[in-house]
Amino acid sequence: MTADETQAPDPADETAGDAASDDDPEIELDAVYDAIDAVGRPHLTATELSRKTDLTPDEAREALETLAAEGDIQRQDVADIDSVWYPADLAEVTDRERVVLFPDRREIVVEHPHQFTRAQLSQFARLQDTNRSGGYVYELREEDIWAAPHESLDDLLATMRDVLGERSPHLEEWVTSQWERARKFRLYTHEDGYVVLEAENDDLMGNVARQKLDDDHLRAPISDSESWVNADATAAVKRTLYEAGYPVRDDRELETGDALEMELRLRLRDYQADWVERFTDQGSGVFVGPPGSGKTVAAMGAMAAIGGETLILVPSRELATQWRDELVRHTTLTDDDIGEYHGGTKEIKPVTVATYRTAGMDRHRKLFDQRKWGLIVYDEVHHVPSPIHRRSADLQTKHRLGLTATPTRESDDEEEIFTLVGPPIGTDWGKLFDEGYVAEPEVEIRLVPWGSDTERSEYATTSGHGRRQAAAGNTGKIEEIQYTLEQHPAAKALVFVEYLDQGEAISEAIDVPFISGEMPHARREKLFDEFRRSERDTLLVSRVGDEGIDLPDAELAIVASGLGGSRRQGAQRAGRTMRPAGDARMVVLATRGTTEEDFVRRQMRHLASKGIRVNETESEVVETPVDGE
pLDDT of 568: 47
Helix, strand or coil for residue 396? coil
Confidence of residue 517 (pLDDT cuts 50, 70, 90): confident
- The residue type at 40: G
Contacts of residue 359, defined as CB under 8 A and 6 or more positions apart, other chains included, come to 311, 313, 341, 365, 368, 391, 392, 395
Q: With 60 as the cut, is the pLDDT of residue 424 above it?
A: yes
pLDDT of 629: 37
Q: With 50 as the cut, is the pLDDT of residue 7 above it?
A: no
pLDDT of 110: 85
To the nearest whole percent, how much of the chain has pLDDT over 70?
Answer: 79
Taking the C-alpha atoms of 374, 377, 381 and 385 in order, what is their torsion angle to the nearest 10 degrees? -30
Q: Average pLDDT, stretch 385-409?
A: 72
Q: With 50 as the cut, is the pLDDT of residue 334 above it?
A: yes
Mind listing the pLDDT tens digit for each residue in 583-599?
678 888 999 988 888 88
To the nearest whole percent, how much of the chain has pLDDT over 90?
Answer: 25
- How far apart CA 519 and CA 35 sit, in angstroms, is 62
Confidence of residue 353 (pLDDT cuts 50, 70, 90): very high
Confidence of residue 157 (pLDDT cuts 50, 70, 90): very high
pLDDT of 41: 61
List domains and CATH numbers for the chain. 25-93 (1.10.10.10), 99-167 (no CATH), 185-246 (no CATH), 270-428 (3.40.50.300), 442-618 (3.40.50.300)
Say if strands 442-448 and 614-618 run parallel, antiparallel, or are unpaired. parallel
Q: With 90 as the cut, is the pLDDT of residue 185 above it?
A: yes
Q: Which CA distances in Å does 181 have to 11, 169, 306?
A: 70, 18, 30
Q: Which CA distances in Å does 328 have to 125, 321, 335, 378, 404?
A: 39, 11, 7, 19, 22
Q: Chain-wide mean pLDDT for the chain?
A: 79
From 148-152, 203-207, 481-485, 510-514, the region with the lowest mean pLDDT:
148-152
Q: Average pLDDT, stretch 58-69?
A: 85
Q: Average pLDDT, stretch 459-476?
A: 87
pLDDT of 628: 39
Mind listing the pLDDT tens digit for each residue in 523-539?
888 888 888 888 999 99
Residue with more model confidence, 430 or 346: 346
pTM recorded for the entire structure:
0.63
Confidence of residue 256 (pLDDT cuts 50, 70, 90): low
pLDDT of 14: 41
Q: With 90 as the cut, is the pLDDT of residue 74 above it?
A: no
Q: With 60 as the cut, is the pLDDT of residue 565 above it?
A: no
Helix, strand or coil for residue 239? helix
Q: With 50 as the cut, is the pLDDT of residue 461 above it?
A: yes
Residue with more model confidence, 116 or 245: 245
Confidence of residue 39 (pLDDT cuts 50, 70, 90): low
Confidence of residue 160 (pLDDT cuts 50, 70, 90): very high
Long-range contacts of 455-460 (CB under 8 A, 24+ apart): 456/626, 459/591, 459/594
Residue with more model confidence, 93 or 357: 357
pLDDT of 386: 66
- How far apart CA 293 and CA 549 sit, in angstroms, is 15
Mind listing the pLDDT tens digit for each residue in 264-314?
999 999 999 999 998 988 888 889 888 778 899 999 999 999 999 999 999
Q: With 70 as the cut, is the pLDDT of residue 582 above it?
A: no
pLDDT of 58: 85
Closest CA to 596 of 604, 606, 607, 584: 604
CB atoms within 10 A of CB 580: 15
